[in-house]
């Protein structure tokens, strides 16, 4: 297997355009008072969306027929890292979770009518969405087979009951993708407007992270009635479609967070050059210099991991365990980088005087959502113990 890590000219040009856009249009708005505990307000989100649209950078991952640039996964790796350089960047370019993952799923699975109704306005940034899968105990979390939400057939309709939590963007979302069990058919995905009778957003949870519009909600489905055309894909294939969404979504999370910790590292490098102690800049002391070197190595490994998986996705050859492996490698490398940056900044690192503390807090959840590191390790270990190895994993002559 040979992977070319050279960036094509057209992607270099796009990278430069995004870098300029983030620096001139997005970073200056990071101190905007419309940023709150549960992400940017709808007013600020729309303002950022308008700026990205004017720059020709809105939703670059979706097909051109929906207003995007139709980027490959390798192209997304480059674009999303640049977007992630600001906590507001993914929101501005409409590549933030959960909308980015929902767009990918809708492109892959939705009917033409569903695409017109849901995907088109979502890609345009006119609305937001949410993905309702995680449930409070004893329901589905890391183990999706524990799904309790139900969709019972009632004549020509389905009636959905159940509770969900940690539903990113639920408050203010225009529609939801809902996972529920259909009688004996199994897990099924449904589409519904969020203002439909039977959907209640009970509350928004206070969490460490503050970067997602709408925060994370607790949602109840109390007799939500949907027609057959609300089924996304086929009845009983919800878990299959979840993997269509989750494998690339794990990787795009990695892309965005790599951009975020690169920003934190840049702040730390600048501080290490300017701050002096014991007769020289603190960066010249090995204690700090070695942390900067470790940051660079962690980011390098993370980027290579992302690019390899992006390339495999473009070839249609990314195995599930490979997305798990990448998620653990990158989430934990990014966490180490952010933690070192806080330490390098000292007292400044735990204040809002720089963006580093915000990145640190926002990033902590990345080791949990889309599967905690421990669950991914458990899955990888089971594969190892079964002796499952792909041909490309084997050394020459094995």
Domain locations in the chain as residue ranges:
9-96, 129-234, 239-393
User: Domain 129-234 maps to which CATH number in 1.20.1540.10, 3.40.50.10490, 3.40.1790.10, 2.40.110.10?
Assistant: 2.40.110.10
Where would I find the H helices in the chain?
9-21, 42-54, 73-83, 89-92, 99-109, 112-114, 120-123, 238-274, 286-314, 320-345, 356-364, 373-385
User: Stretch 257-277: mean pLDDT, rounded?
Assistant: 98
Do residues 88 and 95 make contact, with C-beta atoms less than 8 angstroms apart? no
- What residues contact residue 372 under an 8 Å CB cut-off, 6+ apart? 142
9-96 under CATH 1.10.540.10, yes or no: yes
CA distance 20 to 47: 17
184 pLDDT above the threshold of 90: no
* 3 state SS of 158: strand
CA angle, 2 as apex, 251 and 383 as ends, to 5°? 55
- For the domain made up of 239-393, the CATH class stated in words is mainly alpha
Predicted local distance difference test score (pLDDT) of residue 362: 96
CA distance 24 to 20: 6
- Which of 1-19 are b and which e, b meaning 16 or more Cβ less than 10 Å from the residue's Cβ? eeeeeebeeebeebbeebe
User: Stretch 358-377: mean pLDDT, rounded?
Assistant: 95
What pTM, to 2 d.p., does this model score?
A: 0.94
Name beta bridge partners: 190: 178, 231
Predicted local distance difference test score (pLDDT) of residue 398: 39
pLDDT tens digits, residue range 113-133? 999 999 999 999 999 999 999
């Amino acid at each position: 297997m040979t992977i070319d890590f050279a960036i094509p000219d057209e992607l270099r040009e796009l990278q430069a355009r995004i870098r300029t856009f983030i620096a001139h249009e997005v970073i200056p708005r990071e101190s905007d008072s419309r940023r709150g505990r549960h992400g940017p307000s709808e007013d600020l989100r729309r303002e950022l969306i308008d700026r990205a649209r004017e720059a020709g950078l809105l939703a670059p991952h979706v097909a051109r027929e929906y207003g995007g640039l139709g980027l490959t996964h390798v192209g997304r790796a480059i674009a999303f890292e640049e977007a992630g350089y600001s906590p507001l960047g993914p929101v501005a370019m409409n590549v933030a979770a959960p909308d980015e993952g929902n767009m990918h799923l809708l492109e892959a699975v939705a009917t033409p009518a569903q695409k017109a109704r849901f995907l088109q306005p979502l890609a345009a940034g006119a609305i937001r969405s949410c993905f309702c899968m995680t449930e409070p105990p004893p329901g589905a979390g890391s183990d999706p087979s524990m799904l309790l939400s139900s969709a019972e057939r009632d004549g020509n309709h389905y009636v959905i009951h159940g509770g969900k939590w940690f539903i990113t963007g639920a408050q203010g979302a225009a529609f939801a993708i809902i996972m529920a069990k259909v009688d004996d058919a199994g897990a099924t995905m449904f589409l519904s407007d969020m203002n439909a009778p039977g959907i209640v957003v009970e509350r928004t949870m206070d969490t460490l992270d503050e970067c997602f519009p709408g925060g994370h909600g607790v949602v109840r489905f109390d007799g939500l009635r949907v027609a057959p055309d609300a089924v996304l894909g086929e009845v009983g294939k919800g878990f299959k479609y979840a993997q269509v969404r989750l494998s690339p979504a794990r990787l795009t999370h990695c892309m965005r967070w790599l951009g975020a910790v690169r920003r934190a590292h840049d702040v730390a490098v600048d501080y290490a050059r300017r701050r002096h102690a014991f007769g020289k800049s603190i960066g010249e002391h090995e204690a700090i210099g070695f942390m900067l070197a470790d940051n660079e190595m962690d980011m390098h490994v993370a980027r290579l991991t992302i690019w390899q998986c992006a390339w495999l996705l473009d070839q249609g050859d990314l195995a599930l365990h490979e997305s798990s492996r990448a998620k653990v490698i990158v989430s934990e490398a990014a966490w180490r980088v952010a933690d070192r940056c806080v330490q390098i900044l000292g007292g400044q690192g735990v204040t809002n005087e720089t963006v580093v503390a915000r990145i640190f807090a926002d990033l902590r959840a990345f080791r949990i959502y889309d599967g905690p590191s421990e669950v991914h390790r458990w899955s990888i270990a089971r594969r190892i113990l079964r002796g499952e190895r792909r041909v490309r994993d084997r050394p020459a002559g094995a």
